[in-house]
Amino acid sequence: MPRPITATLHLDAFANNQQVVRRFAPSTKIWSVVKANAYGHGLKNVWRSLAEHTDGFALLDLAEAVLLRERGWRGPILLLEGFFQPAEIALLDRYRLTTAVNSDWQLQAIAEARLQAPLDVYLKLNSGMNRLGFAPDRLHNVWLTARELANIGSITLMSHFATADSDEGVEQQMATIERAAAALDLPRCLANSAATLWHPSTHGSWVRPGIILYGASPTGDWRDIADIGLQPAMTLSSEIIGIQQLQAGDRVGYGGRYAADGPQRIGVVACGYADGYPRHAPTGTPVWIEGALTRTLGSVSMDMMMVDLTPCPQATVGSKVELWGRNLPVDNVAAAAGTLGYELLTALAARVPIIAGE
- Average the pLDDT over 50-62 and give the result: 97
Query: Does 52 share its domain with 192?
Result: yes
> Which residue, of 177, 193, 218, is where some domain finishes?
218
> Which residue, of 167, 183, 218, is where some domain finishes?
218
Query: Does 155 share its domain with 256?
Result: no
Distance CA 76, CA 74 (A): 7
Catalytic site residues? 35, 254
Q: Is residue 122 part of a domain?
A: yes
For residues 270 and 238, the answer to whether their CB atoms sit within 8 Å is yes
CA 355, chain centre distance (Å): 19
Give the total residue count for the chain: 358
For residues 218 and 212, the answer to whether their CB atoms sit within 8 Å is yes
Q: Is residue 224 part of a domain?
A: no
End-to-end CA distance of the chain: give it in Å, rounded.
Answer: 23
Q: Is residue 227 part of a domain?
A: no
- Average the pLDDT over 96-116 and give the result: 98
Query: Does 200 share its domain with 245?
Result: no
Cα angle: 109, vertex 113, 114; to 5 degrees = 175
pLDDT tens track for 222-242: 999 999 999 999 999 999 999
Q: Is residue 225 part of a domain?
A: no
CA 291, chain centre distance (Å): 28
Query: Does 170 share its domain with 107?
Result: yes
Q: Which of 81, 44, 42 is nearest to 59 (CA)?
A: 81
Query: Does 210 share its domain with 112?
Result: yes
The whole-chain average pLDDT of the chain stands at 97
pLDDT tens track for 316-342: 999 999 999 999 999 999 999 999 999
- Average the pLDDT over 268-282 and give the result: 97
Phi, psi (degrees; rounded to nearest 5) at 113: -75, 155
Q: In which band, very low, low, confident or very high, does the pLDDT at 358 lie, cut at 50, 70 and 90?
A: low
pLDDT at 102: 97
For residues 108 and 145, the answer to whether their CB atoms sit within 8 Å is no
272 Cβ contact list (under 8 Å, min separation 6) = 279, 300, 301, 302, 303, 304, 305
Q: In which band, very low, low, confident or very high, does the pLDDT at 357 lie, cut at 50, 70 and 90?
A: confident
For residues 305 and 277, the answer to whether their CB atoms sit within 8 Å is yes
Distance CA 313, CA 309 (A): 6
Number of domains in the chain: 2
pLDDT at 2: 85
Q: Is residue 16 part of a domain?
A: yes
Domain that holds residue 346: 234-356
Query: Does 157 share its domain with 68?
Result: yes
Q: Is residue 7 part of a domain?
A: no
pLDDT at 47: 97
The CATH number for 320's domain is 2.40.37.10
Q: Is residue 4 part of a domain?
A: no
Query: Does 249 share its domain with 131?
Result: no
Helix or strand holding residue 26 (H, E): none
- Average the pLDDT over 133-140 and give the result: 98
> Which residue, of 186, 218, 250, is where some domain finishes?
218
Query: Does 39 share its domain with 171?
Result: yes
pTM, entire model: 0.95
Query: Does 181 share its domain with 321?
Result: no
pLDDT at 63: 96
Distance CA 252, CA 243 (A): 12
Query: Does 294 share its domain with 179?
Result: no
pLDDT at 17: 98
- Average the pLDDT over 275-282 and give the result: 97
pLDDT at 1: 60
Phi, psi (degrees; rounded to nearest 5) at 98: -85, 135
- In percent, the amount of the chain with pLDDT more than 70 equals 99
Query: Does 208 share its domain with 273?
Result: no
The CATH number for 86's domain is 3.20.20.10
Query: Does 45 share its domain with 178?
Result: yes
pLDDT tens track for 176-211: 999 999 989 999 999 999 999 999 999 999 999 999
For residues 193 and 218, the answer to whether their CB atoms sit within 8 Å is yes
Q: Is residue 166 part of a domain?
A: yes
